[in-house]
Amino acid sequence: MTTEAEGKKVVLTGLKPTGKAHLGNYVGMLKPALSLMQAHPDYVFLYFIADYHALTTVRDPSRFRELCYDSAATWLALGLDPDKAILYRQSDVPEVFELNWLLACVTPKGLMDRAHAYKSAVAENQARGGADPDAGVNMGLYNYPILMAADILLMQTDLVPVGKDQIQHVEFARDIASSFNSAYGRILKLPEHVVQEEAGGIPGLDGRKMSANYGNTIPLFASSDELRKLIFQIRTDSTAPYAPKDPAGSVLFLLYSEFASREETEAMRRRYLDGRISWAEAKEQVFRVVDSFLAGPRRLYGSLMRDRAAIEAALTKGAAKARALGSPLMARVREAVGRP
C-alpha cells in the first residue's frame, strides 16, 4: 500500500451511472458517504464512477458518456474535494478487471445464483410465465457481484458505505475474498459495510421507494421550478388540513428533515403534531429548504457539465492515485497465483 494510505482506514463508495442522480440517491448514499469523510479526515476515501457496471443496461454510447460525466459532476458539486479524496472512473483502473477474472476463477457458481439482481430477474421471468427463467439475463448482470468485489478488494478497503439493499455486495466480496485466501493465502482484506439505518429507501412521488425504475424520482439538480412542481406531486393522505399529523409516516417530513437544520426539523415536528400545518404548506416548506440547500451545488453542477475538461482532469488525477493504491496488492495477487 502507498504511503498515503499506510496505517489508515480505507473507505470506498461507487456510483453506477445509469441515470441522473435523484433525492433518494442523495439521502441514501451520497449524503452519508460525504458525511463519513467529514467525520473522519484521517481516513483514505475513494469515490469511483462504476461505469463498466452500467454497461449491463446502458447501450447508447452517447448516453453512457453523458451519464459518466454526470456522476462525476454530482460528486464534485456536492462538495467532494479531489485533493482530499480519490475520485476516479472504474474503467481507468485496468487492475480492477484483471482481479475480476482471478476472483471469478475461485467464485462458486452457486454464490452468483443467490445474487439479488439475478434472482429478481429470474423471478420476473417466472411471474410472466416465460419458458426460459434466464431470458434477458446477460453475463454482465450475472457476474456483477464479482466485479463489485474486485472494485472493493483491490483497494484493500476497510469500510463500504451502502444502502440496506446493497449489503449483499459487501457480503459477497467477503465470501469471494475468503475463497481466494483459502486457495492462495491470506492476501485479500475482508471489508465491512456501513449502513445509515435511518436513510433506508426514501419514498418517491407515488409512495414507493424512489427509483428510476418506477419513474417516481425527483432529480437532484432539477431547476427550482421543476423541483417545486415535483414536490407538489408527492402523495399525501386524506388528513384534514389542520388536523394533527404523524411526522413518522410522512414522506414530506422525511425529506424536510434530511435538508433542514435540527432546530427547523424539531419546529416542523411540533407543527405536524399540533395540527398547525396543511399538506400544501408542508410541501411549500419542503421545497424551500431543499431548493435553498441545493442552489449552490446546482450552479456548480451546471458549470462542471459545461466544462468536461475539468471533469476529465479530476478523474485522470484520481485514476493515477487509485492505481498507485491498488497496484501493490495486485502485484501480490499475481505472485500468489504463480504468474511469472
Question: What is the per-residue pLDDT for 2?
Answer: 43
- pLDDT, the chain, mean: 93
pLDDT at 21 over 80: yes
Q: Is the pLDDT of residue 5 over 80?
A: no
Grid cell digits, residue 77:
458539486
pTM higher than the cut 0.75: yes
State how far the alpha carbon of 95 is from the alpha carbons of 319, 327, 329, in Å: 11, 7, 10
pLDDT of residue 196: 62
Residue type, 108: P
* Overall CATH class of domain 212-300: mainly alpha
- The pairing of beta strand 44-49 with beta strand 86-89: parallel
Q: Residue 266, Cβ neighbours under 10 Å: how many? A: 12
The residue with greater pLDDT, 131 or 94, is: 94
pLDDT of residue 336: 98
Q: Give dist(CA 236, CA 108) in Å, integer.
A: 47
pLDDT at 127: 93
CB atoms within 10 A of CB 28: 26
Which pLDDT does position 214 carry in this prediction?
83
- Mean pLDDT for 202-213 is 85
Q: Is 316 helix (H, G, I), strand (E, B) or coil?
A: helix
**Residue 16: all three cell numbers together:** 453506477
pLDDT, residue 1, reads 38
What is the average pLDDT across 108-132? Answer: 94
The pLDDT assigned to 3 comes to: 43
Contact 10, 86 (CB under 8 A): no
The mean pLDDT of 108-112, rounded to a whole number, is 97
pLDDT band at 340 (very low <50, low <70, confident <90, very high): confident
- Domain ranges within the chain, ordered by starting residue: 3-202+308-337, 212-300
Task: List, for residues 83-94, the tens digit of each pLDDT value.
Answer: 999 999 999 999
**pLDDT tens digits, residue range 160-194?**
988 777 899 999 999 999 999 999 999 999 999 98
**Would residue 207 be called left, alpha or beta, if left means φ above 0 and alpha means ψ between -120 and 50 degrees?**
left
Out of 135-149, 203-217, 271-285, 293-307, pick the least confident.
Answer: 203-217
Assigned fold of 3-202+308-337: Rossmann fold (3.40.50)
More confident of the two residues 309 and 198? 309
